[in-house]
Chains A and B, each alone.
Chain A
Amino acid sequence: MNNLNPPGESIFSLVIPIEALSPDVPLEEVAEQFADPRNARLLSLPVVENGRPIGVISRYQFMNIYLKLYARELYGKRPLRGFINNTPLLVELGQPLAEAAQHVAANMQFPLTEDFIVTRHGRYLGIGFVMDLLKAMEVQMRANTAELEQAYSQLKSSQLALVQSEKMASLGQMVAGVAHEINTPLGYVQNNVAIGQELFAQMQGVLGTYETLIDQLLDGNTNEEQLAAQMQIAAAMRNDASMQEMRGEMNGLMADSLYGIEQISGLVHDLKNFSRMDAAANDLANPNDCIESALNIGRNVLKDKVEVVKDLAQLPEIMCAPSQLNQVFLNLFTNAAQAMETPGKLLIKSWHDSDNIYIGVSDNGKGIPPDIISRIFDPFFTTKPVGEGTGLGLAISHQIIQQHGGSIRVESRPGEGTSFHISLPLSGDAKSNASALAALA
């Protein structure tokens, strides 16, 4: 509101400082005033006594009286006082424009026969035209609307910022989830290395014993007794069953460790892929990869609960923000998992035609009741308990898909499940890739 004129000033700009009539002037003088060409635009003349407006005489009313037969003679010398409308339309200078307009609009007569009187602290200041007031009002309303629109778009962009930060927050959660996921392979890899270290120390002992034995054998001076003793030590070591078994197991542990390290690097890789924070920067990417990436990251949420069935067709790469698409899929998968009360199924499909890529995500969770389904894309709409849902997942997803020029819609049957359908347009390049793919198939 601060870029608008103060309301008092807008009324001020409407004021016409007409000299007011005294109630004591004779009617014939009023006739002169109305006849004056300078007053041609005035519908009425204000009547003021001791500085305060006491009424108004309208051209219309005056005519009604004065144009009667002999009226001029009968009333010409009579004072104006007896003929005025003493409930004039009054507007105080300091009044907000809107309030003044409302007051005038509510009290004016049809057809419009009077102007309104402007006062300052109750004292006469001038008059104003009702039409001007209404016009000014309209202008202000338009300004207000513009302001509203501006506020709205500001709100929207700050909401976007919020959404972005929410995205960061949910990413944070995911990172925490993945960090935990890493703890399992890290657990056995670290343990295996510790065991290996211990075993290596033991092996060094064994090796030392053998070396001594060989040295003694090669050395002609060693006596039989010494040799026998050393042999016994070596034999005992060789026959130590637990050591033998541990040595046998060690190969397996080493293989496990390599596997674990691979898993950890995979997770780290996923995480890096997923959170590519150069989100704005678009890239050529295959939406199937985004689906896989989201599945990897969401493994933590899906693992114990959801059987994932994939039916992914070969897709052309499209220009997109891959990390944002990752986010969309992760939101959909998380929602699906959260909609399942008992372990359930998640079906992910992708295909394309010459114009679009299509992705379907269906679950057999509890479904969405028809009375709320129209609201699920609204920001902050959630049916989940506090702390579990912010209601931003689908709003963000919707926004991202829109920014990609695509669409997302939902279909649900309570008790049976929910499907989300996404379509993403193929860009020019991608279209020719798509036809190449089609030719291959």
Chain B
Amino acid sequence: MSKPTLLLIDDEDRILRSLRMLFFVGYNVRTTTEPGEAIRILREEKVHVIMSDQRMPQMQGSELLRIARETSPATMRILLTGYSDLDASIASVNEGEVFRYLMKPWNAEDVKKVVAEAAAIAEASFAVQSHAEPATETAKPRVLIMDHDEATAKTVHETLGDRCEIVWASDAQHAMEELAKQDVSVVVSDLMLGETNVGYILKTIKQLNPQTQCIVVTSFNDTSRLIELINQAQITRFLPKPVSKGILARNLESMLERFHLVRSQPALQKRQSVEPISNAQERVQAGNFIGMLGKLRARIGV
């Protein structure tokens, strides 16, 4: 098997030289400081993984990754940035749909692991036709709302009410009971459900069922939490509140579509695989959550 191709973009040459050496063994490494050149390479060559800086004079990394998503959908997208600003991280989720959001300075071993994982996933998805016919659905898709905001629930009902079963969870316990009954297709969640930080629930859901697509609608603007949710929950949308009805509706539609696609093409599921939970307390919460879920399911007989 030939070596996977890794495309690196950064406006600092020294970063490129350094990374090139890190991946020298095992990869066909392409580097450029020009986003335009990167787009050309994506168009003409089979690229497994693209890893880009965020802040560059000609183009933001999230924008480059958005173009990469259209030009070469199978390529895995990673952002490697020294700036943890909120706008960049939101754009990297919503537009770049990044696999990982990595920070400079990085740990060489960790980055190697992430890239290796991404390369393997890309290899598998090259084999998949991305616009395959959705498999005939058996069960109605389920949408779980974890947000006390009525506006959110209303939009979800109006947009997907005719096609989906919609569950509006009032608290973490309720959400768990619903998840115990059956997996969900799309989760629409705030980051806080009353007093509960639901980060661990989102992370657990994605671990248990990679097909589930997570939309976060929230007024909490915490960049480091968002980055964590990208890497550990692979949320696919982050919509700052107040979110317009149209935008939420549009994103609901596309996430439902995404769910059908991923479900029909299990090879695509891996594209949204997550990192282990890093926060110790959340790990405990997630552990309890999974344990409880198991018991509930056993009782219900799922």
Chain A residues in the interface with B (C-beta under 8 A): 180-192, 194-195, 242, 245-246, 249-250, 252-253, 256, 259-260, 303-304
Contacts and interface: CB of A to CB of B under 8 A. Distances in A.
Contacts of B14: 185, 188, 256, 259-260
A253 B83 CA distance: 23
B22 A195 contact: yes
B194 interface: no
Contact of B108 (A186, A194, A252, A304): A194
B17 interface: yes
B21 A249 contact: yes
16 contacts: A180-B84, A183-B104, A184-B12, A184-B82, A188-B14, A188-B18, A188-B19, A191-B106, A194-B108, A195-B22, A195-B108, A245-B24, A246-B21, A250-B21, A253-B17, A253-B18
Q: How many of chain B's residues touch chain A, expressed as a range?
A: 20 to 34
Given A183-B104, A195-B18, 14 more contacts: A180-B83, A183-B105, A184-B15, A185-B14, A187-B80, A188-B17, A188-B19, A190-B108, A191-B19, A191-B22, A194-B109, A249-B17, A250-B21, A253-B18
A217 B70 CA distance: 62
In this complex, the member of A187, A249, A259 whose beta carbon has the largest number of chain B beta carbons within 10 angstroms is A187
A187 B57 CA distance: 19
The 5 A-B pairs of least Cβ separation, nearest first, read A183-B82, A187-B104, A194-B108, A188-B18, A186-B105
- Which among A188, A192, A245, A259 has the highest number of chain B CB atoms within 10 Å? A188
Interface string B243-271: 00000000000000000000000000000
Contacts of A181: 82
A186 B55 contact: no
B21 A195 contact: yes
A29 to B, nearest CB: 84
A242 B82 contact: no
Interface of B: 12, 14-15, 17-19, 21-22, 24-25, 55-57, 80, 82-84, 103-106, 108-109
A256 B82 contact: no
B104 A192 contact: no
Nearest to B55: A304
Contacts of A187: 15, 18, 80, 82, 104-106
B18 A186 contact: no
For B18, B82, B106, the residue with the greatest tally of chain A CB atoms inside 10 Å of its CB is B18
Contacts of A303: 57
Contacts of A191: 18-19, 22, 105-106, 108
A188 B12 contact: yes
B83 A246 contact: no
A297 to B, nearest CB: 16
A303 B57 CA distance: 8
A188 to B, nearest CB: 4
A261 to B, nearest CB: 11
